[in-house]
């Protein structure tokens, strides 16, 4: 049995990760509408990764004999008005998710739940990578995005992103 608060926070995190998937699908949809299929591809794959994150937590709870409670997924709430605005909304969202993971880690630490802390280590590292990726996207857009040729090249680069399953196996 996990601690009640830890279990509840993990349950909520499933919902947050599925929301993240939904949000990035919305980003992908925005870029499809702009004709920037590379950016659309990048966020489509990001949505797949977020679903994976949710499934890892779902499986972890089940493996620990905890009841999983699935709640409604909120409508994506970011206003998508410009390419750079979308990228910045992505970074802001990842920083928020990092804070959520840290909160769960802190709750596990409080009750000496070392198993959950070890499980969350992967997420702590993943969040570092996700924030770096979001920052890199913004930097590249600042450098090249205002020039049509630069934007074309950046879009082509992002089109090359391929999905790979998470390295964490439960």
29-58 footprint of ligand FEO as x/- string (CB under 6 A): ---------------------x--x-----
What is the DSSP-derived secondary structure letter of residue 147? S
13 contacts ligand FEO (rule: CB under 6 A): no
91 contacts ligand FEO (rule: CB under 6 A): no
* Separation of CA 150 from chain center: 27
- The span from the CA of 149 to the CA of 144, in Å, is 8
Decide whether 96 or 152 has the Cβ nearer to ligand FEO.
96
Task: Give the long-range contacts of residues 112-118, CB within 8 A, separation 24 or more.
Answer: 113/2, 113/3, 113/6, 115/64, 116/2, 116/6, 116/10, 116/60
26 contacts ligand FEO (rule: CB under 6 A): no
CB of 112 to ligand FEO, least distance (A): 26
CB of 26 to ligand FEO, least distance (A): 14
20 contacts ligand FEO (rule: CB under 6 A): yes
- The span from the CA of 127 to the CA of 9, in Å, is 17
Q: Residue from 14, 91, 97, 107 that binds ligand FEO (CB under 6 A)?
A: 97
- The span from the CA of 106 to the CA of 73, in Å, is 25
Binding site for ligand FEO (CB under 6 A): 17, 20, 50, 53, 94, 97, 130
């Amino acid at each position: 049995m996990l601690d009640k608060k830890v279990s509840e926070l993990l349950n909520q995190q499933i919902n947050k990760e599925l929301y993240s998937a939904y949000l990035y699908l919305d980003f992908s949809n925005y870029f499809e509408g702009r004709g920037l299929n590379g950016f659309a591809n990048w966020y489509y794959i990001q949505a797949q990764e977020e679903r994976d994150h949710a499934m890892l937590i779902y499986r972890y709870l089940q493996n620990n004999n905890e009841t999983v409670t699935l709640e409604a997924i909120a409508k994506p709430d970011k206003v998508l008005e410009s390419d750079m605005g979308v990228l910045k909304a992505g970074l802001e969202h990842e920083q928020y998710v990092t804070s959520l993971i840290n909160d769960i880690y802190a709750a596990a630490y409080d009750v000496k739940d070392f198993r959950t802390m070890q499980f969350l280590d992967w997420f702590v590292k993943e969040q570092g990578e996700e924030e770096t990726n979001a920052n890199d996207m913004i930097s590249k857009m600042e450098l090249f995005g205002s020039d049509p040729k630069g934007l074309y090249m950046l879009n082509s680069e992002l089109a090359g992103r391929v999905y790979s399953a998470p390295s964490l196996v439960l």
